[in-house]
Structure 1
Amino acid sequence: MDPGEAILERELPARVVVIGDLNAQAVVLVRLLRGLRLITKDGRWSGGRTVIVQMGDVPNRGPGARAAMELLLALTPLAREAGGDILWLLGNHEVLSVLRHEAYVTPEEYMEFATQEEIERFVYARNRYQLELLGLPRLRGTIPPMGGRLRAWEEENAPGREAYRAEMGPTGRLGTAIRRLPVALTMGSLLFVHGGLSPRWAAHGIQGLEAETRRSWAKAPEFYEDVEPQSILRDPLGPLWHRVYALASAPSVRSDLHEVLAATGTRQMVIGHTRTDAVMPGEAGRVLVRHGGRLVMSDVGLGDPGESGAVLVIEKGRFEQWTPGGSKSQVVRVKAR
């Protein structure tokens, strides 16, 4: 096997750390990794045989997409050398980002790819525009709110977007890495997938899902709209977009979930994609368990103002929620096969 490839079906390691949707929060990622003693202060791997599963959606909505992606890619070979691993799953926002669907890209994400000279010109022009919005040098009159207009100007004028597109493209380093990310994986009795796995897609098996993903990328789509609507990368009920288990509780939904777990030889599904505070009685900053412990939701809204973040630590037969303050609380037990 290529040493750069991820092992998609394996026994459950002694310690697994599950990090939900990152939303371009590189600072949060570093805080979590340091708090769990997985990296040193100078950024070297110190997690030994720990396996990290990042549930996808590293880019978009935040200020540090490039930094977060670069860190995960840099740490992966170091973790594997130590007997651990980092498994970054493909999320829908990775697909959007490499296929020019930039609706969720922030100005700060573009600017991570800009030159220092471009940033300096941008800051100068932004300051001039901000003075205009403040009504200066006008001395008298009503000054309307400027936040939305200033943000719109930033989105329109942020430098670095062409370099961003080149790096995320099919020949760019980040774009190439994203196109190789796995869609789903199993560890012992646990199934990990970004959005959720329907019976239709579960029938392909883990290796079959990987093959379907490769076939979709092999068609070399340039834009998101080039992807076939029912393909694994775009299907609304596909593994990247599925939300049914997270949002619904009907008997038919539970039946589908049990069918998928049986088909994959697992007992519990771990997902990201749908925030825990989008579901009653979930709340931001806390992992949520549904369907009698069969579904574990990891997207806790990392990077939200006032939220310190939380991750799942799986060891000694149980899921525990961990926060950077060092607190731990049991979420649910790992169901044996």
Structure 2
Amino acid sequence: MKLINTLFCIVSTICFISTVYATTTLLDSPRRIVSMGDLHGDLKNTKKILRLSGLIDENDHWSGGDTIYVQTGDVLDRGTDTIALYKLIQQLRKEAPEHGGLVIPLLGNHEIMNLAGDWRYVTKEETATFGGYNNRVRAFQKDGFLGEYLMQLNMTTKVDGTVFCHGGIHPNFARLGLDTINDYTHHDIEAYMASGGHADPHKIFGDKGPTWYRGYALADEPNICEFADKALTYMKAERMVMGHTVQRDGEIRTRCNGKIILVDIGISWVYGGYVGALEVVGDELTAIYENGRVSLTPPKNQPKAFSGVHLEL
């Protein structure tokens, strides 16, 4: 499951684990998967949700056993807790495997924006946590303590029948396969950074790329469900989980009979500080909230997404 596991400590008191995970994780039997959407610089609410989901204890250490935790990107921007959040995620990445668990962080559009020098959502207060502008610039360079870490992350992952990404995987990318999406990401990102966000030969970082595409969240049903079925068929998956598009009432949404799941509920205080996470166990989908658990599982008699039939766009 782990391909690379090296420890590097670049700034005082902050050590990051550089671990590249395989694109696909196959399970021998159903295991608990927990996913959270955009954190946007809010450490307090992130910890609150991790505790509510049983993933960390009162001392912020992993307590999730063999749970697989997938974070769908946009850890930074808008709020102020960038360094602390990445430090926590890296700590949990190290601790979870010791208990049979796994932590899979993915790239969001805000990670990619910061790597390319697009700081339009960075606050002065957050820059100050790095010790000033120049220190923050260095942190996101390819050999910086955040740049080097983020360049190792995948853009998408599949755990059994569930695909996770930040924005949504358009059929034009889904037909390439998840390995190719991640290969393009790793191959192109250094040039994209060096060009200030212009060099993008495969359009992987563009508005229809997996970190930006909003069609599954915003387009009308049932039309968008046909797109979803095509994408899921190409990826041999049952459902797609994504963040990026905020659900302003703080509730996790499903679309297309549970094939599309939207987990950006506005966790950051900037969006209202909502508390919630998605739990997947086999085909059972559950939203975890402060006031209880809500089943999101679609009716059993509905057809599954993957039919094995080749579909043309």
Give TM-score scaled by structure 2 length: 0.85
Q: Please report how far the alpha carbon of residue 79 of structure 1 lies from its aligned counterpart in structure 2 after TM superposition.
A: 0.8
Structure 1: state its 5+ residue gaps. Answer: 115-159, 278-283
Aligned equivalent of 1:84: 101
Aligned equivalent of 1:275: 246
For the residues of structure 2 that align with 1:260 and 1:231, how far apart are their CA atoms?
17
Aligned equivalent of 2:216: 245
Q: CA contact under 8 A between 1:100 and 1:223: conserved in structure 2? A: no
Q: Please report how far the alpha carbon of residue 91 of structure 1 lies from its aligned counterpart in structure 2 after TM superposition.
A: 0.5
1:291 and 2:256 aligned: yes
Shift in CA distance, 218/164, structure 1 to aligned 2, threshold 3 Å: closer
Aligned equivalent of 1:188: 160
* Residue aligned with 1:320, SS: strand
Aligned equivalent of 1:63: 80
For the residues of structure 2 that align with 1:190 and 1:2, how far apart are their CA atoms?
23
- In proportion to residue count, which structure has more strand? 2
For the residues of structure 1 that align with 2:194 and 2:167, how far apart are their CA atoms?
23
Aligned equivalent of 2:142: 170
Cα deviation, 1:231-250, whole Å, max 9, x if unaligned, reads 212x2111011001111125
Partner AA of 1:315 in structure 2: V
* Residue aligned with 1:332, SS: coil
Aligned equivalent of 2:267: 302
Structure 2: state its 5+ residue gaps. Answer: 6-18, 307-313
Q: Percent identity?
A: 29
Question: Highest CA radius of gyration, 1 or 2?
Answer: 1
Shift in CA distance, 253/224, structure 1 to aligned 2, threshold 3 Å: farther
Partner AA of 1:321 in structure 2: A
Partner AA of 1:309 in structure 2: V
Aligned equivalent of 2:297: 332
Cα deviation, 1:221-275, whole Å, max 9, x if unaligned, reads 3353333275212x21110110011111255432221111001001111111111
Q: Please report how far the alpha carbon of residue 316 of structure 1 lies from its aligned counterpart in structure 2 after TM superposition.
A: 5.5
For the residues of structure 2 that align with 1:326 and 1:41, how far apart are their CA atoms?
20
For the residues of structure 1 that align with 2:282 and 2:174, how far apart are their CA atoms?
28
For the residues of structure 1 that align with 2:267 and 2:202, how far apart are their CA atoms?
30
Aligned equivalent of 1:36: 53
Partner AA of 2:253 in structure 1: L
Aligned equivalent of 2:24: 9
Shift in CA distance, 336/315, structure 1 to aligned 2, threshold 3 Å: farther
Q: CA contact under 8 A between 1:60 and 1:105: conserved in structure 2? A: yes
Q: Please report how far the alpha carbon of residue 328 of structure 1 lies from its aligned counterpart in structure 2 after TM superposition.
A: 0.8
Cα deviation, 1:139-193, whole Å, max 9, x if unaligned, reads xxxxxxxxxxxxxxxxxxxxx1211111111111111111111111111221111
For the residues of structure 1 that align with 2:20 and 2:97, how far apart are their CA atoms?
11
Cα deviation, 1:52-101, whole Å, max 9, x if unaligned, reads 10011001011211111111012102112221111111100000112110
The runs of at least 4 aligned residues of structure 1 exceeding 6 Å deviation read none
Shift in CA distance, 317/292, structure 1 to aligned 2, threshold 3 Å: closer
Aligned equivalent of 1:313: 279
Matches within 5 A, 1:85-234: 85-114=102-131, 160-219=132-191, 221-228=193-200, 231-233=203-205
* Residue aligned with 1:46, SS: coil
For the residues of structure 1 that align with 2:157 and 2:180, how far apart are their CA atoms?
11
* Residue aligned with 1:211, SS: helix
Deviates more, 1:48-57 or 1:30-39: 30-39
Q: Please report how far the alpha carbon of residue 320 of structure 1 lies from its aligned counterpart in structure 2 after TM superposition.
A: 1.0
Partner AA of 2:293 in structure 1: K
1:47 and 2:64 aligned: yes
Give TM-score scaled by structure 1 length: 0.79
Q: CA contact under 8 A between 1:100 and 1:222: conserved in structure 2? A: no
- In proportion to residue count, which structure has more helix? 1
For the residues of structure 2 that align with 1:64 and 1:326, how far apart are their CA atoms?
26
Alignment RMSD, CA only?
Answer: 2.0
Deviates more, 1:311-320 or 1:253-262: 311-320
For the residues of structure 2 that align with 1:32 and 1:223, how far apart are their CA atoms?
37
Q: CA contact under 8 A between 2:116 and 2:196: conserved in structure 1? A: yes
- The number of residue pairs the alignment matches comes to 284
Q: Please report how far the alpha carbon of residue 113 of structure 1 lies from its aligned counterpart in structure 2 after TM superposition.
A: 1.0
For the residues of structure 2 that align with 1:41 and 1:71, how far apart are their CA atoms?
14
